[in-house]
Structures are given as structure tokens and as C-alpha cells.
Structure 1
Amino acid sequence: MIRGDLTPELLNTPVWGDGLPERAGIPVFDVPLVSVGGGIGSFTLLDVLRIRGVPAEWMRVLSVNDTPWQTWDYLCRASQLPATERIRSDAGARPDNIWGFPSYAVAESWREVSLKPLLQVLVEPVLSDFYSPPAGLVSASIAKEAHRIGYWSMLAKGQVRMVRKRHGGGYFTVLTPPPGAAPTKRVILRSSHVHLAVGYPGLKFLDDLQRFREEHGGGHQVVNAYEPHEHVYDTLRRRPGTVIVRGAGIVASRVLQRLMDDVERYGLQTQIVHLFRTYVTGSHGPNARMRRKGGDGWAYQAFTMPKSAFGGQLKADFAAATPERRAELAKLVAGTTTPKLRRWQDQMARARSGGWYHPVQATVDKIERAPDGRLVTHYGHLTYLSDFIIDCTGLEADMSEHRVLDDLLRFGGATRNRAGRLAVSPSFEVLGAGSGDGALYASGAAVAGNHFLAVDSFLGLQTAAHEIADDLARRGFGRRLGPLRSVAQWLRWAGGRPV
């Protein structure tokens, strides 16, 4: 056994005494609060706590990333949302600004010296599409706020291996630092509280596409929209080809827009086959309050959730519902949707009339490789021959695929809710994972299906951060954000001054 590494005793003991890491030769460092993840979920909690007066030296964020927007930025670019393109988010949903004022529309208007963003907000959605900020503006805003709160003084680089309870209360978080960064393979942070914001475990492929990749190694031709796949567009620019797009959400619409942009910009002869598992022909929903528009195969919704999920009737209904009813509501309102944007609708109409975009409802049976190396997609008695398949069906959310979450379920007392995610309280404390006076919290995709519907969104992450901060204040860590401090801190934010 390497000195400073996990021993069988540590791996198989759910609750550690202070002597266990010492016997394994793993150095232990004390800090009151640890946030695991280092993405926008960790950033929003640290931002809220710093604004509430918690010193930076009381907190550490553990991450393999250099910046809190790194993973988000990567996923945006891979799914054809470069810095200049607009994301699917409301003007007031600002991870860098807990007050939401001024909105992104004001910020963009100021940056571009243009009234266009403000006019769009004034007439949306009747006379224009809903305003959404460019991806680059979001990243730049988070970067500015990260500098303001001293984010990098709280960052500890490395891969988190596990979180275990401590005898007497609190937690041990095991970190594997980068090679050469520490004299031992592992280091441990001992804290009173832990926050998990680990995002999605990985990519999610449709079953038939996953089988094909495992059997044939077709990672060049069968790609996920969230992994690098620029070679698909490069190849189609060099020669005519056919591409199959699977999925009907925002990522599918962005991939289609990129393919169609290239066809129209470069005069390509690309053929696009779009396979819908469920083909939506019009407005749908169980009642007037939950109906949404649809057509041409798509279900349309401006944002990932209806606005009432963030602070209206739907939020109240979801919080008061039984676990069974929550699962029903989530299925109704959190399904696969995309915004109905005017430019994109016109583009699809031109592609259909031009005979190079073919939307088809189909349930795929299997994928095979043709003798010439192309892909054969079988559904029913029909087949499609293509050069590439792009899977736009989403990210993997199974907690067993994530090492930290899986260990927490097996050794930390955590349980799954009806949606298969971590069961948490209204304060986002992981149920069953408490340790003495210490608390373990979670936010983001890992806690979907609990009392709050829109957890995997900018506003959802901020809502969780405020609830967690309030609960920590009740435990004596930090304090509540009263009106006087809130106004004073907003003025500091507006002036770009440190917290």
C-alpha cells in the first residue's frame, strides 16, 4: 500500500475516527465548509456566503477545474453554443448577481451600446422572442464576480474520491491532488459541513447507439452532442453526406441550426434526417394551466421550466405534493422541449421545402455498419443510410455512475427519492447523511425530484444556495442576509468592490 493512500480499513468504515487517516499517513487539513464540484453550483453557494460575510478562509471548493464556468462553457461549445450564441435562460437569472438587477439585458445593452436588448425585453414574447443572454456574457460576468469574492483563494485542485462521516460530528473529504502537488497520494479535509454540486456523472447515449459504440467502436461516426464532434461538420463541408439527428430538445435544435447554417452558408449538399421518438403535432398538456405549444415534432417552451416553477403556483404545488405526485408533475412540465425561435422556424421551413431536412417519427431497432463503412439505422421495416449519427438526448444522471455519490449512498446514509436522485430536505440537506452538528448539502441535477422542481438551472442553483445559507446560519455558520446588508452589498457589487 502506498503511503498516504486509502487503506481497506478506511474504504470499509462508514464513520471515521480522527486516528484512521493518521494511521494511513494521509495529512488532514481543517476548514469549516467544503464544497465539492467547483462548477456554477459551488460558485453560487460561495458567492451567497461571501456576500453574507463568511470569510474566504472558512471555505474551500474542491475541483479539477480551473474556473467555475469551465465545464459549463465546454458543454455549451460542444453542443453548438459558442460565446456569441444565446443560451436558454431568463434575463434576470444571473449566477453572478443574487439580486438579478440589473438584468443581462441591461448589461448587454451597456456593453454593446445598444437599446436593442432592452427593447426586446419590453416587447417579449408578443412582438419578439424571449430575451436570452449570449453565452460569452454569462462566462464573463461569472469571472468578474469570482475575482470579486476571492474565488481562487478558496480553490483546492484535485479529484474528490469520497466523503465520510466523522465520529463526533462533521466529515472527512478525501482529495486526490494533481501529480506533484502534495507529498502523499491523498489529502483529507476535515470540516463541519460539506456541499455537493457535482453536476451530471457523464454522457448519456441511447441504448442502441451505446451498443453500437461498444461493439464497433464507432466513436467517430456515432457521437454525443455534448462531446467534441466538430469533425462531423468539417467532413460534411468537404463532401456531400447524410447525418441523422436523434432527440427533440434544445441541444437537438442547436445542432440542427448549425447543420442548416453550414448548408446555407457554404452551399452544401448535406441531407439531414431527424428522428423523433414522439412527434408533437400541436398544443398539448392535461389542462389549460399546463398546456404548451408544439408542432413539426417539437414541444415548445421558452425556458427549461415554466416560470411558475421558480416562484409561482407550480413551485407551491410541487413543494406540497406527495412524492408520487411530484414524479407526475415533473414528467408533465420537465419533458424535452425547445424554444420556438423565429429565425430557426424559418430556417426549418426552407430546409423542408428544399428537400434536405427530413423529420421522421421512429423508434429505432438497431444500428449496423454497411459494407462501405456507413451506418444503417433500422426501424420497423425501413432503414436509413447515413455517414454520421448525432445523439442529442442529454446527459447521464444515474448517481451510481458518479464515484462520490455512489459512495455516499453505500456508506454515507443517503437515500434515493422517487426520481432516483438524492433525497433532500427543504434546506437541501441530504437526508440520512447528517453527522452530529454537521450537515451535508447538495444542489443541482443530483437533487431533482424533491420539493423544488427547477434545481438544474441558474435560478435553481441560487435558490438552493440561499436555502443552504439560511440553514447554515441557523447552525451558527454565517448569518442571514438582512435588508441593510443586502443593499450595502449590492452597492459594492455594482461598484465592483470586494465583498
Structure 2
Amino acid sequence: MVDGSETITFNPQSGQPVQGGGPGGGDLTDQMIATDWWTDQMLADAGIPIYDVPFVTVGGGIGSFVMADYLRIAGVPLENIKVLTNIDRPYQTYQFLCKNSQIPSKERLRSDSAATPDNIWGFPGYAIREGWNDKSLRPWINVFTEPVIDDFYTPRAGDVFTSMDREAARIRWQGMLAKGQVRMVRRRQEGGYFTILTPPTGTTRTKRIAYRSHFVHLSVGYPGLRYLRDLQAYRETYEDYRTVVNAYEPHEHVYEDLKRRPGVVMIRGAGIVASRILQRLVDDRDYHGAQTTIMHLFRTYRTQPKIDKKWGGGKQEVRHGWAYQGFNVTKASWGGQHRFKLLELEGQERKDFIDYIGGGAHTPRRKDWREQIDRGLQQGFYRQHVGTVDKVVPGPDGESVVSTVKGQDGSVTDIAVRYIIDCTGLVGSPRDHRVLADLLDHGGAGENVIGRLDCEPSFEIRGTRSGAGKMYAGGASTAGSYYGGVDSFLGLQYTAQQIYLDLQKQGFCSRIGPGRSFSQWLKWARNKTI
């Protein structure tokens, strides 16, 4: 909240006057929008108040949370970190997507026991905690026998969210938040950066405020939902947003309608989200009497593991068109030989290797999912079709949609269903995010081998340095960089660690050596506020 008189605003940390402010001011000028490098005077002339804080992280999601956690543990004072966000809890957006894609709090995520966003040490992991809290040895046995006897252990979503709430309170997360929508980040001619925030209406005396910092960290997640082109065309042409839905958007009406009356639903996609949607549909048949027929349309029907002539064969299990892989990249990508290999590669070789360790669309190998697929094929309520969609149009009955599908043999089939659920994923291109697109156009950033932000191994964004100031990025926008699983809990932890190490070299924070690490872990274990 900006405090002050009619013409002067004050820094909430120092209490000293800052430039700009005043009623009715604070908007961006055409000159500022067109200029790559800004001066303090440009903001003063525009009436935009400036707040000084050494480190700014943009996003406020799990990536920002893990980054702030590292810095607080490394001794950075609360007032030296500002989190610019439009959400209250770091997992809020992630929880929203999980709920829509049928991963409620009691269901399990696709994550390792030691991938703990609330705990930079990874110990105790989620399996140990779950066994302790539930007074059960089952999670502990699971991690010791995976993946030979048991499927990989994965934590319950609710346990992850609860643990992050605990750590957020411990590091005083709320004290670092500045609510609002980030408009852009621009380099400062004297070094460092200006991050422009649009606060909630009525909370400040000006439309925009600026944070002037030495360092900026961008962890903004996915820009939005990705629709298959034919489905997007249908929605826009017929303005029908109930029949054709994305798995990540609210669509509970689909399941409620199918519980009330028999119907056919089509699933598009073959990744983990398609697995979750399929499980929900079959569970409704098993426990709520639904008479739903599931049509699964494969664009590519997998019959063998993905083979790469240069990197070799994969270890995926392929069954009934589905490819099974424990995590979104190979296990060796987290801390083994594939991680070291990726650090050595550039250009097309890196792109090819990332494609290899990703292995295409796949889902975790879980016994309950496999049983449902087997049973559905045997009983006929789960049916598979292979082909590409030419067009989607409304059905003649006014309640269905018809997809014209071209099969691999050249045949054309019209498939009528009541609902289509698009499970193909989220948009990841920086060009689709306002802040990142501006960074590409005015901040010196470039794109990497797969079209995301080009970063150093330290996750500094190449081309964006401003004097002694540095800009970093994490999460989905850095896919294609020197680490395979950037868009994962462990990937966010790895990214934050590399950024912390780079900041420590510059004297911004203390080194987390053995002594500090142990003492800070004890504080974590005792839940002592820092």
C-alpha cells in the first residue's frame, strides 16, 4: 500500500520519499513503452512512484516460493525480497489446475518423495511424513521397492499444499507479497531493473508503481490453456464452451450430466491428464452408476518405446497405445548421467536430447489405471480410435458434436459424442505471456532451441544483464535449457539452487555451508520462524 500525502509517496520499508506519485498519475507513456532502457527521470515524469528492493520475483507461484525459501534460509532479510503476484498462496494456481484435471487433495501427484518445495533438503520426504502421520509402513515400503515391486511413490496433493502453508508461515511469505498484475520489466540505464506493477484498484494513489531492483526472477508459469486447432475453431465458430472443454478449465458439469444420463464422451490426448480424466469417468461408472461410453482418440498410437538412433532406445512400457514413464523426464535427468549430458550439449543436439529424455506423451505406470483400461476394453465402455480430426461441427440433435476423423488407412469416419475433453496440455511459449513477450521485444532476451527463454546454466536470462544487475527465470518458460525437468517440483528446486549459488558469488546472500545448512534444517524441523 502506498502511503503519503496528495503529492508525495513514501517507501514502505524506509519511510523516505520516492519519486512520482500523486492522484491521477502513474500511467505508462508511449515513450516508455517504446524505449528499451529507462531512467529514473522517465518514471518521475510519468508520475510512477519507485520502491527500492534488492530482489524481485515475479509470479508468486511455487517457483517464486522455492526461490524465496532458498534466499531466506541463506540469510536474506525479509525486506530485501519482494514477491509480485496476484494470488495469495504459492500453490493457488497449481491447485486450481489440479482440481480441474481431476487431482483433488486426496489423489496423488506425479512427483518423487524427495521433491519437496517446502524443504530444500528433501529430508524427510513425503513418504516418510505420510507414513508417520498415517501410522503406516506402507509409504516407506513403497519407496524401498519402487519401481520393481511397486509403482513409483507419489505424494498426495493435499499433503503438498499443507506442507507449503507451513513453510510459507515460517519464512513469513505474506510479508514479502505485493499484490497486483505485473505489466513489464525494463532495464535501468544506471543498472538494475524496473518492474512495473498494476496494484488492485483503490489500493494505491497511482495506476502503476515501480520496483527498482538489482535482481529480478521470473517464474510466471504457463500463459494459458492450449486447445487443439479444430476444437478452438469449433468453440469460436459456434460459441459453445460447454460441449468442448479443456481438462484444465472448470468442467464439472460434464461429469454431473453423464451421471444423470448415458452418453458418449471423447478424450483427446494421451498424457497424465488424459489418465486422470479417464479414471474419473470410470470411477463414476463404478461408484455412481454412470453409463458413460468413453471414446479415446489417439493421434499417435504407441506400439513400442520411442527409439532415437543417436541416443538409443527407451525404457518405457507401451501398452494399448499408452506409453508409461514414471516422471516427465527420465530418472537420470534429475541428478544422474542425463543431467550431466545435457549440460554439455548445445543447439540441435540439446533439442534432440531433450526430446529423447522426454519420450513424447506418456503417463505414470499405475495399477489402477491399467486395470481400468483393460476392463474398459473388455467390456466395451472404453473404445479407441486412431486418426486426425478434419473438423468438428454440432450434431443434428442439438446436444452432440461430430468429429470427422481421417484414419491412418485413409478412411473417413464421423464420430458423434456428447462432450469432448481436450487433454493436450498448456501453452508454454513466451510469446503468449505479456511480460515474457515484452522481455523478448525490449529486454534483450532470446529464445532457446525449443522456443522458450534462452538461459545460462545458472538460469540467468541471456542478453538481459543491466550493469551489475541480473535477471533470472524458472519453470516452464525455461524448458529447453540445461536441465530437463524444469517444470516440476524438483526442477524448481534445482533452478532456485543454481540461482542462489550465482547470487551468493555476487555477495547477495550467505553461503549455505554444512554448519548453516544443519542449523537451518533444525529450524525447519522445529518449525521456527525466520
TM-score (norm 1): 0.98
Root-mean-square deviation over aligned CA pairs: 1.2
Aligned length: 499
Percent identity over the alignment? 50
Paired position in structure 2 for 1:484: 515
Contact persistence 1:284–1:294 (CA under 8 A): no
Contact 1:285 1:291 in 2 (8 A): no
Q: Relative to structure 2, which stretch is displaced further, 208-217 or 402-411?
A: 208-217
**Structure-2 separation of matches of 1:219 and 1:176:** 30
Contact 2:108 2:156 in 1 (8 A): yes
Q: Quick check: 1:442 aligned with 2:473?
A: yes
The question of 1:338 aligning with 2:338 is answered no
Q: Which moved more, 1:344-353 or 1:383-392?
A: 344-353
User: How far apart are the structure 2 equivalents of 1:148 and 1:382?
Assistant: 58
TM superposition shift of 1:348: 1.4
One-letter code aligned to 1:47: D
Q: SS where residue 389 of structure 2 aligns?
A: coil
Look up the match of 2:90. 68
Between the aligned partners of 2:265 and 2:107, the Cα distance in structure 1 is: 23
Give the secondary-structure state (helix, strand or coil) at the position aligned to 1:262. Answer: helix
Aligned ranges 1:48-447 → 2 under 5 Å = 48-286=70-308, 290-334=314-358, 335-373=360-398, 374-380=400-406, 381-447=412-478
- Distance in 2 (CA, whole Å) between partners of 1:275 and 1:362 is 7
Q: CA offsets per residue over residues 318-355 of structure 1, 9 Å max, x none? A: 11112201111122221211011111111111111111
Deviates more, 1:119-128 or 1:183-192: 119-128
User: More displaced, 262-271 or 57-66?
Assistant: 262-271
Show structure 1 runs of 5+ residues with no match: none
Verify the 8 A CA contact 1:245 1:273 in the aligned structure 2. yes
- What do the CA deviations read for 1:4-32 (whole angstroms, capped 9, x no partner)? 11111111111111111111111111100
**Partner deviation per Cα, 1:285-338 (whole Å, 9 max, x = no partner):** 336663321111111101111111011111111111122011111222212110
Q: Could you tell me how far 1:267 is from its partner in structure 2?
A: 2.2
Letter of the 2:268 counterpart: R
Contact 2:305 2:314 in 1 (8 A): no
* CA contact 2:24–2:205 (8 Å) conserved in 1: no
Contact 1:284/1:293 (CA < 8 Å) preserved in 2? no
Q: Deviations over 1:65-118 (max 9, x none)?
A: 011010111111010000000000001100011111111001111111211111
Preserved CA contact (<8 Å) 2:458 2:502: yes
Q: Which moved more, 1:114-123 or 1:221-230?
A: 114-123
Within 5 A, what are the aligned runs for 1:17-32? 17-32=39-54
Return the alpha-carbon distance in structure 1 between the equivalents of residues 113 and 313 of structure 2: 23
C-alpha distance in structure 1 between counterparts of 2:271 and 2:427, whole Å: 15
Structure 2 CA distance for aligned equivalents of residues 355 and 141 of structure 1 = 42
8 Å CA contact retained: 1:285, 1:292:
no
Return the alpha-carbon distance in structure 2 between the equivalents of residues 256 and 336 of structure 1: 16
Shift of 1:165: 0.5
The aligned amino acid for 1:354 is: Q
Code of the aligned partner of 1:167:
Q
TM-score normalised to the size of structure 2? 0.93
- Could you tell me how far apart the structure 2 residues matched to 1:298 and 1:105 are? 27
d(CA) in 1 for partners of 2:362 and 2:438? 33
Distance 2:161 2:289 in 1: 33
Query: Does the 8 A contact of 1:29 with 1:189 survive in 2?
Result: yes
Write the deviation string for residues 19-67 of structure 1: whole angstroms up to 9, x where unpaired. Answer: 1111111111110010000000000000001011111110000000011
In structure 1, C-alpha distance between the alignment counterparts of 2:32 and 2:74, rounded to whole Å? 36
Q: Tell me, in whole angstroms, the C-alpha distance in 2 between the residues paired with 1:218 and 1:8.
A: 38
Q: Equivalents in 1 of 2:350, 2:96: separation in Å?
A: 32
Choose the corresponding residue for 1:474, options 505, 508, 520. 505
Distance 2:37 2:312 in 1: 51
Give the conservation status (yes or no) of the 8 Å contact 1:375–1:385.
Answer: yes
Contact 1:283 1:295 in 2 (8 A): no
Question: Is the 2:103–2:157 contact (alpha carbons within 8 Å) kept by the matching residues of 1?
Answer: yes
Paired amino acid for 1:333: I
Distance 1:408 1:401 in 2: 12
Question: 423-432 or 347-356, which moves further after superposition?
Answer: 347-356
Unaligned runs of 5+ in 2: 1-22, 407-411
Indicate the SS of the match to 1:365.
strand
State the alpha-carbon separation in 1 of the partners of residues 353 and 508 from structure 2: 35
Contact 2:262-2:290 at 8 Å conserved across structures: yes
Partner SS, residue 388 of structure 2: coil
Residues in 2 aligned to 1:485 and 1:59: alpha-carbon distance in whole angstroms = 20
